[in-house]
Amino acid sequence: MLNVENIRKDFPILNLSVYGKPLVYLDNGATTQKPRVVVDAITNEYYNVNANVHRGVHFLSQKATELHEQARETIRAFIHAKSTSEIVFTRGTTESINLVASCFSESCMKEGDEVILSSMEHHSNIVPWQMVANRKGIRIKVIPINDQGELLVEDYKKLFTERTRIVSVTHVSNVLGTVNPVKEIIRIAHDHGVPVLIDGAQSAPHIPIDVEELDCDFFAFSGHKIYGPTGIGVLYGKESWLDRLPPYQGGGEMIQHVSFEKTTYNELPYKFEAGTPDYVGSHALAVAIDYLSALGMENIHEYERSLTDYAMKQLQQIEGMRIYGTAKDKDAVISFLLGDIHHLDMGTLLDRLGIAVRTGHHCAEPLMHRLGIEGTVRASLSFYNTREEIDSLASAIKRLKQMF
Ligand code: PMP
């Protein structure tokens, strides 16, 4: 499937030792490590190309513009969008969702209208909606989950009223690993004439994405979680929707003509890209995506699925283990607690053994309330992780259990 031994050589950081122990990096849900080609692309662009993009007549500006716009095309192809007009560069998933929440509510929502979210959303798919809800008197409705961490689709259907204007849900939960049936969720919403935003922060790095096949209206993801640099992300939007929405921020790039009497806005996608874009980041993100495409997203998905199954089996064998998120369709994220060991103690002690995991509420406090806990330990996997690393995690947990 994948030659993981060779792949690991592309990620220099994986050779680090921490506290004299080989690093076992299992915090990929928070951010992924970068292959050498991505870091080289950044260095190379700053050394050999750097110039501000668009409207530049000189050689370097044209070259930088070419790389930036080629990156848009690489991303378009990666998620199977129809046109590069539908690919908006943002700072990340958070900014992409804020953009939609702000622009959509401004133009398409009135007091008393409703948005549907789910109880497993990351704060970045809750708070932007709350902010506009408070401003405009919009109601937020929440899709409940079962104890396995799966969305209750029958309950979801019942949330629709004639005031429902948009649905915004995560594709994959960053806590439970649940892969939501987004195609069905979108079809149901469309039956009510309601558009859907998919938070793809935890799906785009792991699952082949086809926005046309999903038929989602908006799709958001972050560069840094998909082996690219920090500070760049993507908002996909159907052209018909992006056309209808007002601009998000004002400034250079997003205008056609400006006078003190009247300003006209630029065409898509530039209408949503005020100011100098992160053109080095966009190119490096495209290099990351080319790297993934060369490995094959199907291969990545298959390998990570089998690694997740293996990890689930290893961890479930440990006495006192409680795993949060046992959905039938589950991907690359395992949240757990052991006995009455506090998640922070577990995370800190695992770190001393060289194992990087995340602890806490994972920016999903409403989900923690639903689960009746304050936080979990979370191991989140990548295609560069190995069964040996999972074994290290399992034996470290067993060791810590004895200590307590
Ligand atoms: N949604 C989900 C499901 C996430 O896991 C994250 C990051 N943890 C975000 C949104 C926010 O992503 P970013 O911080 O890159 O904007």
- Best substitution site from 180, 202, 219, 224 to test ligand 1's pocket, by max atoms within 8 Å of Cβ? 202
Q: Which two tokens stand for residue 329?
A: 């369709």
Q: Which atom of ligand 1 is nearest to the CA of 95?
A: 16
Q: Ligand 1 centre from 298 Cα, in Å?
A: 23
Per-residue pLDDT of the chain (404 residues; tens, 9 = 90+): 899 999 999 999 999 999 999 999 999 999 999 999 999 999 999 999 999 999 889 999 999 999 999 999 999 999 999 999 999 999 999 999 999 999 999 999 999 999 999 999 999 999 999 999 999 999 999 999 999 999 999 999 999 999 999 999 999 999 999 999 999 999 999 999 999 999 999 999 999 999 999 999 999 999 999 999 999 999 999 999 999 999 999 999 999 999 999 999 999 999 999 999 999 999 999 999 999 999 999 999 999 999 999 999 999 999 999 999 999 999 999 999 999 999 999 999 999 999 999 999 999 999 999 999 999 999 999 999 999 999 999 999 999 999 98
Q: Ligand 1 centre from 176 Cα, in Å?
A: 14
Quick one: pLDDT at residue 55? Answer: 83
Q: Ligand 1 centre from 215 Cα, in Å?
A: 22
Q: Ligand 1 centre from 94 Cα, in Å?
A: 6
Q: What is 4-26+296-403's CATH number? A: 3.90.1150.10
Q: Ligand 1 atom 12: the closest Cα is on which residue?
A: 93
**What are the backbone angles phi and psi of residue 337, rounded to the nearest 5°?**
-135, 150
- Best substitution site from 179, 359, 363, 376 to test ligand 1's pocket, by max atoms within 8 Å of Cβ? 363
Q: Ligand 1 centre from 71 Cα, in Å?
A: 22
Alpha-helical (H) ranges within 22-152 are 36-48, 59-79, 93-108, 127-136
End-to-end CA distance of the chain: 40
Asked: is 40-294 a CATH 3.40.640.10 domain? The reply is yes
Q: Where are the domains of the chain?
A: 4-26+296-403, 40-294
Write out residues with Cβ below 6 Å of ligand 1. Answer: 29, 92-94, 122, 124-125, 170, 174, 199, 201-202, 222, 363
315-338 residue pLDDT tens: 999 999 999 999 999 999 999 999
Contact status, residue 280 vs residue 45, Cβ threshold 8 Å:
yes
Quick one: pLDDT at residue 57? Answer: 93
Q: Ligand 1 centre from 63 Cα, in Å?
A: 32
Q: Which atom of ligand 1 is nearest to the CA of 224?
A: 15
The yes-or-no answer on residue 363 being catalytic is yes
Q: Measuring CA to CA, how many Å separate 199 from each of 20, 52, 71, 167, 203? A: 38, 30, 21, 11, 8
Quick one: pLDDT at residue 404? Answer: 87
Quick one: pLDDT at residue 321? Answer: 98
Residue type for 21, please?
A: K
Give the active site residue among 103, 108, 216, 363: 363
Q: Which two tokens stand for residue 197?
A: 């935003």
Cα gap 35→48, rounded to integer Å: 20
For residue 100, give every residue at least 6 positions away whose Cβ sits within 8 Å of its Cβ, in sequence order, or none: 168, 197, 218, 220, 235, 237, 245
Q: Ligand 1 atom 8: the closest Cα is on which residue?
A: 30
Averaged pLDDT of the chain: 98
Quick one: pLDDT at residue 56? Answer: 87
Residue with tokens 């509420």: 361
Q: Which atom of ligand 1 is nearest to the CA of 222?
A: 15
Any idea what DSSP says for residue 209? Answer: -
